[in-house]
Homo-oligomer: A and B are copies of this chain.
């Protein structure tokens, strides 16, 4: 590993250093690294020895300049939302970094002015800093996908394109409706019939999608949904207020929520009334956040397979970036799972 005294001392070893030490040309060293098959076995061995002895690793800037690829993936992160239980993004970032590494990519983070969704993308693109982007917030009206498409920038979205207007791009998403249906069926199986829904406002397609899972599961069992649903802001207090109204007006015995944040609000409302979550009224959240994992009673929650999302995204990215580009599956929809904890309680008669 240590540098031997062959060179003056400036910086890491280069191709030329390895070539000199191995007694071959620079190109042969390059081939040893990138196309080992081209070398004779003994030459390859000699070069590899020199590489190891010198601790050589190709200079990324030089390689990028030549190959026009940075092996960097750009990911825009938003400031964390405090006062909520939302944690999807952070878990996803970890998964993406892990998976990218295996594919030879690193993740470059950038922010994030919520008012200007395009900020950051443009600069990185024009300076050829990244090979591709992972776009995470494909909410309705978000111009990123269309804009990137138009710039012919390779990208994969975590989230379906909810608008039909733009040409379809590659995406990976989790089937929120299926997750909520899973949660609802779980409650119905336990004997509940009046299962309420607390979700987000109607302009959130993700929220509407999740809601549809609840509707579907209820209707499949011939149960009514009228008066059992509420659409609010994604905050704890909104969840709590919504739960109070529903408890007064519709007497549900169980709640399914679009987020853990809302579900925590429901837990608060129940406690306020002396009702025991899990025993008296069941609650299921969405995201399997740290909060769901540590509150008492444990909050049952729909868990997104973020590791798998990352794997699919990176696989899609690799196809997009390969030469020639491999045509990618239009989109990949993954199934979430249900983490059952005490808040959805014991089996009921």
The residues of A with any CB-CB pair to B shorter than 8 Å are: 11-12, 55-62, 64-65, 68, 70, 72, 77, 79-80, 82-87, 90-91, 93-94, 97-98, 101, 106-112, 123, 125-129, 236, 261, 264, 267-268, 271, 289-291, 293-296
For A73, the closest partner residue in chain B by CB is B109
Q: A109-B97, A294-B83 are in contact. Are A70 and B77 (CB under 8 A)?
A: no
A106 engages B90 (CB within 8 Å): no
Asked whether, in the complex, the Cβ of B294 is within 8 Å of the Cβ of A261, the reply is yes
Known: A106-B110, A290-B289. A126 touches B57 (CB 8 A): yes
- For A98, the chain B residues whose CB sits under 8 A away are 79, 111-112
Please tell me if the beta carbons of B123 and A293 are within 8 angstroms of each other in the complex: no
Contact partners of A106 in chain B: CB under 8 A: 108-110, 129
Q: Residue A291 contacts which of B107, B129, B267, B294 (CB distance < 8 angstroms)?
A: B294
Q: Tell me if A97 and B77 are in contact (CB < 8 A).
A: yes
Which B residues are in CB contact (< 8 Å) with A82?
290, 293
| Contact call A101/B111, Cβ cutoff below 8 A | yes
Complex-state Cα separation, A109 to B86, whole angstroms: 21
Docked-complex contact A93 and B109, CB < 8 angstroms = yes
List of B residues within 8 angstroms of A264 by Cβ: 294-295
Alpha-carbon gap, A26 to B11, bound state (A): 28
| Chain B positions within 8 Å of A57 at CB level | 123, 126-127
Bound complex: CA of A109 vs CA of B84, how far in Å? 25
Q: Shortest CB–CB separation between residue A346 and chain B, in angstroms?
A: 18
* Shortest Cβ gap from A311 to chain B (Å): 15
